[in-house]
């Protein structure tokens, strides 16, 4: 294949993939558009409306947040200034009382008059009212008792002011301190009530309103509700038929994008484009590692694109019938059949992710179909054998049913949900698989790929080309059967496509049908037509058989993979016998040495592991046959020389074979020949032992 052709196919592939992405974005966008309504606040709902997805009820969340904010009480904090002022006022009271006691003792006035004067001074100095009769007790006690009471009162004040106290708490704390004083100092308990009166009169609450703390507290309460919003689950009823559309309901319909708008939904389109772009990027990375098989054949690429789009487009309508009616297995069967299990699984999962938005990101749909895809891709992608249609339908169907049952059991489905889930798992799987199997012959015709079904059909002895090969070139037929055995064993050893190698080996030399008698394996009685032909004519006949094989293969509609192996099984090597013969003839005549380029096969070097395996098997079989070897050791030595020659001639550089693979191939060949060369039991001559 020329570089120009390869480049053209690559460009065509890139353009096709790009257009496919555009189409898929459009399909998913259209399929993801929710059903919309032209309701307004005050309208009457004509039908029940359910949430198509889980969403945040912003209206209710905001309402509850405002309520939570309003319920937050004002924040008060302890004032150091007021606390110190209260303690100072207690000290000031006792200073006034002590001063009045001194005047009382000097002037010799009555206790009542002294108490009255103290009451007036306290009111003027400390701005608090204490009745004279409540103050008389301070003039009837001894000096030492007064000093003790003063110290106790100040200490109580200091203890009380440690806390943050409002009016009620202050009175309670004073009462507590007074009671404690009565219990700890029973001999002074007669003065306890007086201390309580003074403290209640002189001291003020030390708790003050903190505006900033209150604002922060209300904001925190608001944000706490906002950060833990009201969630409405998918499937919840938003409005019932006949119900009036309130502002709350309307807000929910807007959030769910269910209110019809004349404007194009650019936001949703951008979301879908970003979502599909991420999936496309993942597939791009995968395709690079997969080896570019998607774009190697335009027909295969076109087939894969069409098959990929069909379930995506169908999901627009199937998702409306049921949120569990998904047919991704249609693509899984076809993709795994033509590209293998791994590619089928990866591409099918990507397709499942593509249609997932149209199923409202339902986890049950994802779970059931991933299980079904794993099973289906494994069965459909097996290259060593072809599964019957019944197997391909029954096993994935059982897997999807089992997945649906287990998911429903785990999540606690109701009976109706359980029945609905299992029925649609059954319907989806069977519909997908039957459609895929039914359409497969059309895809066989379009793609011309080497699917297991087609390879098995081509391997049957009744195939026209194989019958011709057996009848017209029996030596080549025997050679091809042996090459098939070698190729099959080697492909199994390295994990290549053994079925393709085996069937391609059957057909690799069909070009010899043009002139079968010119190839040694078909010659009899020692007659060699090349003896009467010029060397270059012989070379032309010999080196033309790959090209003749391609022409014949195309006429018989052989898959492209087999045609490639027919073209590449000799690579760009040359028939050494005729080149050496021409070289000796030129020397004998004193002529210039012939150019080796004139003797080369006009094919291409192997471009796949399978093609390289057939090349090595073909070379090995021909050499072992011509050398007439009969022991594995000699055969192995010859194989290694032949493989080394192919490596030195750069025939394997594009094959993808590693040195480890090559070693495994040689050992596989050796094992096949070991079975052929084993010693057999010598049976006695029946005639010799018979009686005359």
Q: What's the pLDDT tens digit per position in 155-165? A: 999 999 998 88
Place 104 in a pLDDT band, splitting at 50, 70 and 90.
Answer: confident
Give burial (CB, 10 Å; 0-12/13-18/19+) of 481: middle
| 461/409 same-domain check | no
| 405/476 same-domain check | no
Res 129 pLDDT > 60 = yes
Place 222 in a pLDDT band, splitting at 50, 70 and 90.
Answer: very high
Residue (of 104, 137, 97) closest to 119 by Cα position:
97
pLDDT tens-digit map of 409-442? 888 888 888 888 899 999 999 999 999 888 887 7
pLDDT tens-digit map of 245-274? 899 988 888 888 788 666 677 888 899 999
| 404/497 same-domain check | no
Instruction: Phi first, then psi: give them for residue 416, nearest 5 degrees.
Output: -65, -45
Query: Among 119-123, 290-294, 476-480, 642-646, which stretch is predicted with the lowest mean pLDDT?
Result: 290-294
Alpha-carbon gap, residue 513 to 471, rounded angstroms: 10
| 272/399 same-domain check | yes
Query: Among 72-76, 201-205, 258-262, 408-412, which stretch is predicted with the lowest mean pLDDT?
Result: 258-262
- Look at residue 49 and give its three-state secondary structure: strand
- Of the candidates 413, 432, 449, which is a domain's last residue? 449
Identify the pLDDT of residue 384: 55
Compute the average pLDDT of residues 27-36: 80
Give the tokens for residue 196.
């309580």
| 417/492 same-domain check | no
pLDDT tens-digit map of 553-585? 989 889 888 999 999 999 999 888 888 888 888
Identify the pLDDT of residue 418: 86
Q: Which residue has the higher pLDDT, 313 or 560?
A: 313
Compute the average pLDDT of residues 105-134: 85
Alpha-carbon gap, residue 59 to 82, rounded angstroms: 45
Q: Is residue 260 part of a domain?
A: no
| 498/531 same-domain check | yes
- Of the candidates 209, 243, 278, which is a domain's last residue? 209
| 434/528 same-domain check | no
Counting Cα atoms < 13 Å in the Cβ hemisphere of 319 gives 25
Q: Is residue 352 part of a domain?
A: yes
- Of the candidates 209, 225, 251, which is a domain's last residue? 209
Res 687 pLDDT > 60 = no
Q: Is residue 65 part of a domain?
A: no
Compute the average pLDDT of residues 664-672: 91
Q: Which residue has the higher pLDDT, 307 or 382?
A: 307
Identify the pLDDT of residue 691: 40
pLDDT tens-digit map of 503-552? 999 999 999 999 888 888 888 777 888 888 888 998 899 899 999 999 99
Q: Is residue 249 part of a domain?
A: no
Identify the pLDDT of residue 646: 92
Q: Are 345 and 336 in contact (CB under 8 A)?
A: yes
Identify the pLDDT of residue 684: 55
Runs of H (alpha helix) within 142-238: 143-160, 167-184, 192-202, 211-227
Q: In total, how many domains does the chain have?
A: 3
Place 688 in a pLDDT band, splitting at 50, 70 and 90.
Answer: very low
Res 295 pLDDT > 50 = no
Place 142 in a pLDDT band, splitting at 50, 70 and 90.
Answer: confident
Buried b / exposed e along 208-223 (16+ C-beta atoms within 10 A):
eebeeebeebbeebbe
In the predicted model, what is the mean pLDDT of the chain?
86
- The CATH number of whichever domain residue 646 belongs to comes to 1.10.3210
Res 679 pLDDT > 70 = no
| 653/573 same-domain check | yes
| 202/294 same-domain check | no
Give the global pTM: 0.59
| 579/629 same-domain check | yes
Identify the pLDDT of residue 690: 41
Q: Is residue 218 part of a domain?
A: no
Residue (of 95, 137, 94) closest to 114 by Cα position:
137
Q: Is residue 299 part of a domain?
A: yes
Give the tokens for residue 278.
């991420």
Res 678 pLDDT > 60 = no
| 600/518 same-domain check | yes
- The CATH number of whichever domain residue 404 belongs to comes to 1.10.1760
Identify the pLDDT of residue 387: 58
Q: Is residue 111 part of a domain?
A: yes
| 439/463 same-domain check | no
Domain that holds residue 128: 76-209
Q: Is residue 223 part of a domain?
A: no
């Amino acid at each position: 294949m020329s570089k120009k052709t390869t480049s053209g196919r690559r460009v065509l592939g890139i353009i096709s993939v790009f257009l496919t992405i555009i189409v898929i974005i459009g399909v998913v966008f259209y399929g993801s558009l929710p059903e919309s309504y032209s309701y307004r606040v005050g309208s009457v709902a004509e039908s029940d409306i359910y949430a198509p997805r889980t969403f945040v009820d912003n209206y209710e969340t905001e309402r509850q947040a405002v309520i939570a904010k309003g319920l937050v009480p004002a924040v008060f904090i302890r004032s150091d200034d007021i606390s110190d002022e209260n303690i100072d006022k207690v000290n000031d009271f006792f200073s006034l009382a002590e001063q009045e006691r001194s005047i009382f003792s000097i002037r010799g006035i009555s206790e009542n008059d002294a108490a009255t004067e103290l009451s007036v001074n306290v009111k003027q100095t400390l701005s608090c009212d204490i009745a004279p009769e409540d103050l008389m007790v301070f003039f009837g006690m001894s000096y030492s008792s007064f000093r003790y009471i003063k110290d106790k009162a100040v200490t109580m004040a200091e203890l009380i002011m440690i806390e943050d106290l409002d009016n009620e708490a202050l009175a309670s704390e004073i009462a507590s301190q007074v009671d404690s004083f009565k219990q700890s100092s029973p001999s002074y308990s007669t003065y306890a009530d007086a201390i309580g009166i003074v403290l209640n009169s002189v001291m003020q609450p030390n708790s003050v309103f903190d505006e900033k703390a209150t604002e922060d507290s209300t904001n925190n309460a608001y944000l706490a509700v906002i950060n833990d919003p009201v969630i409405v689950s998918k499937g919840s009823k938003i409005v019932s038929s006949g119900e009036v559309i309130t502002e709350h309901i309307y807000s929910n319909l807007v959030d769910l994008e269910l209110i019809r708008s004349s404007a194009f939904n650019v936001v949703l389109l951008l979301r879908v484009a970003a979502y599909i772009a991420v999936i496309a990027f993942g597939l791009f990375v995968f395709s690079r590692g997969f080896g570019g098989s998607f774009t190697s054949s335009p027909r295969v690429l076109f087939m894969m694109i069409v098959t990929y789009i069909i379930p995506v487009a169908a999901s627009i309508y199937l998702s409306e019938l049921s949120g569990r009616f998904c047919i991704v297995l249609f693509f899984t069967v076809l993709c795994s059949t033509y590209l293998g299990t791994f590619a089928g699984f990866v591409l099918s999962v990507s397709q499942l992710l593509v249609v997932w938005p149209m199923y409202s990101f339902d986890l049950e749909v994802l779970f059931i179909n991933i299980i079904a895809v794993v099973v289906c891709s494994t069965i459909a992608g097996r290259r060593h054998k072809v599964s019957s249609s019944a197997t391909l339908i029954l096993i994935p169907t059982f897997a999807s049913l089992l997945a649906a049952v287990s998911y429903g059991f785990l999540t606690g489905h109701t009976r109706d949900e359980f029945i609905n889930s299992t029925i649609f798992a059954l319907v989806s799987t069977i519909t997908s698989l039957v459609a895929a199997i039914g359409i497969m012959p059309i895809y066989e015709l379009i793609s011309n790929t080497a699917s297991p079904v087609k390879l098995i059909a081509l391997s049957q002895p009744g195939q026209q080309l194989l019958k011709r090969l057996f009848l017209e070139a029996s030596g080549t037929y025997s050679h091809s059967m042996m090459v098939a055995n070698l190729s099959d064993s080697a492909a199994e050893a390295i994990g290549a496509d053994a079925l393709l190698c085996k069937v391609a080996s059957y057909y690799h030399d069909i070009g010899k049908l043009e002139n079968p008698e010119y190839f040694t394996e078909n010659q009899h009685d020692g007659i060699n037509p090349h003896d009467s032909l010029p060397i270059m004519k012989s070379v032309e006949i010999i080196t033309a058989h790959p090209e003749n094989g391609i022409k014949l293969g195309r006429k018989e509609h052989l898959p492209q993979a087999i045609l490639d192996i027919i073209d590449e099984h000799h690579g760009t090597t040359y028939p050494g016998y005729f080149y050496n013969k021409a070289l000796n003839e030129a020397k004998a005549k004193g002529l210039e040495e012939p150019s080796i380029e004139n003797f080369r096969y006009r094919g291409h070097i192997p471009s796949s592991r399978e093609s390289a395996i057939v090349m090595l098997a073909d070379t090995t079989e021909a050499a072992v046959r011509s050398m007439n070897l009969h022991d594995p050791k000699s055969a192995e030595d010859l194989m290694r020389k032949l493989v080394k020659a192919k490596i030195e001639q750069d025939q394997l550089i594009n094959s993808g074979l590693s040195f480890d693979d090559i070693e495994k191939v040689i050992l596989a060949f050796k094992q096949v020949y070991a079975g052929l060369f084993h010693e057999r039991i010598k049976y006695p001559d029946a005639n010799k032992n018979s009686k005359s």
